[in-house]
Amino acid sequence: MEDYNVEYKLDIPEKQNKLKAEIVAFLNSEGGNICLGVNDDGTINESITLSKKQKWEQMISNWIVNGFTPNVAHLIYVYPNEVPFRIKVLEGDDKPYFIKEGEGFNSKGVYIRVGSTKRVASFEEIQRMILQKKSHEFETISIGETKLTFTYIEQKFKEKGIQFDPYALSLIGKDGTYNNAALLLSDQNSSISKFAVFQGIDVRVFLDKKEFKGSLVKQIDDILYFANLSNRKKITISGKPERNEYMDIPSGALREAIVNCYCHRDYTLSGDIKVEFYDDRVQIYSPGSIPDGLTLDNIKMGMVAKRNKIIVNVLDKIDMIENYASGVRRIFDDYEGFGKQPVYNISNNGVVVTLYNRNYDIFQNDTKNDTKNDTKNDTKKECTKKGVEESVDTVKNKNKDIRIDTLLKLIEEDPTITDVILMKLLGVSKSTIRRDITFLKKLGKLEYKGSARSGYWIVKK
């Protein structure tokens, strides 16, 4: 069936721009495949494919050269000998792409993919594509300023025994003025970072909130200081000479996730870096998606893309980061063997990293056990006195209710969560998870959008 990455067409339409629009939509989204000679229901018409494949190949090859702007020759591939006839479209690296109509930019020819259909991109969406393209150049753009101060960062360089040289660090352009990277690292930096601690597992009650200003380096130091203060430690005595100490959030993972925001965020977008502590997790927000179209899996495999090379270089020189892009892999290494792995929610607008509190479930169980021990005898006497015994069916139903509530919360926290992860977190079989999901769908509490590979869940209140 058609989905976010697959489109079926029986033939090239009379109005050829309809098919060109489908191609543009894939270029401006995440790529996909267009299959010709296929009915809307997915059935293949082999005879029409065989009779028209040469015509289709000639027409589309001509479009690749003359039909789109910017150049798409390296992004579109035609497979005329397959049945059905297939057009493979890669995600573009120079968005926005549009249907070529005369000379100049044609905003009406810019399409994007939404679900299994296309639509004309809005002005804001086009603007965002342009900004994303410029985000790699942002650091080097001159701000026409010659009077910035670097008091905080100069002290950091002095502590490392390194001379702070704005020219050598590429903070001054050929015109002799400072660039955007210099402004972000200077004492005059106007961007801010936000830090908050909440009571419980939602945003209803603030326990603490702060805003940090000044040089990015100062903001990193400030936010790491308060994050470490808020990261509690659980100590257990096992009878051995040494005691066991477990930080709620692995210190290395917490540091890496926070510092990565400053290295890789998109500074062309409005919005602030935010770090939020809850009882059961920490959530870290960074404006802008992963650079250069990389995926989380790509990064975990060691692939590298630097959006802010000047800032990364400066932070590397004062040992605030390790400049070989292994941060994400180390975050997952710190959570090895823990039931709830770090979650990355990635969109065009930003990245949200969720790091789970490793001691939260232990604390909850300890509290439950204390309460259970305090009330055990009284409860037993009361039940015996009243002659009340819950049936096996009643217990099963209660367990199911608890499991389904937990399942919904997990899906709400991570809409892209998989059956396999739900199995591990809930300790049940895959068939049980699928039965619960089917049950919730019938109740109208759960809906799935998009393809099996790149879709997501919606929890309906």
**351 secondary structure, DSSP code:** E
Q: What is the pLDDT of residue 16?
A: 93
Q: What is the pLDDT of residue 347?
A: 80
Q: What is the pLDDT of residue 134?
A: 64
23 vs 34: CA distance, rounded Å: 8
Which CATH architecture fits 6-134? 2-Layer Sandwich (3.30)
- CATH T-level fold of 193-358: Heat Shock Protein 90 (3.30.565)
15 vs 94: CA distance, rounded Å: 26
- The domain segmentation of the chain, as residue ranges, is 6-134, 193-358, 390-461
Q: What is the pLDDT of residue 1?
A: 67
**340 secondary structure, DSSP code:** S
Contacts of 191 (CB under 8 A, 6+ apart): 184, 216, 267, 272
What residue has token string 């819950």?
A: 390
Q: What is the pLDDT of residue 72?
A: 94
Could you say which residues of the chain have pLDDT below 70? 1, 131-136, 235-245, 291-295, 298-306, 322-326, 362-399, 424, 452-453
301-324 burial string, b = 16+ CB within 10 Å, else e?
eeeeebbbebbbbbbebbebbeee
- Token readout for 104 is 């100049």
What residue has token string 């979650």?
A: 343
- CATH T-level fold of 390-461: Arc Repressor Mutant, subunit A (1.10.10)
pLDDT tens digits, residue range 276-322?
Answer: 999 999 999 999 877 655 667 766 666 666 678 899 999 999 999 86
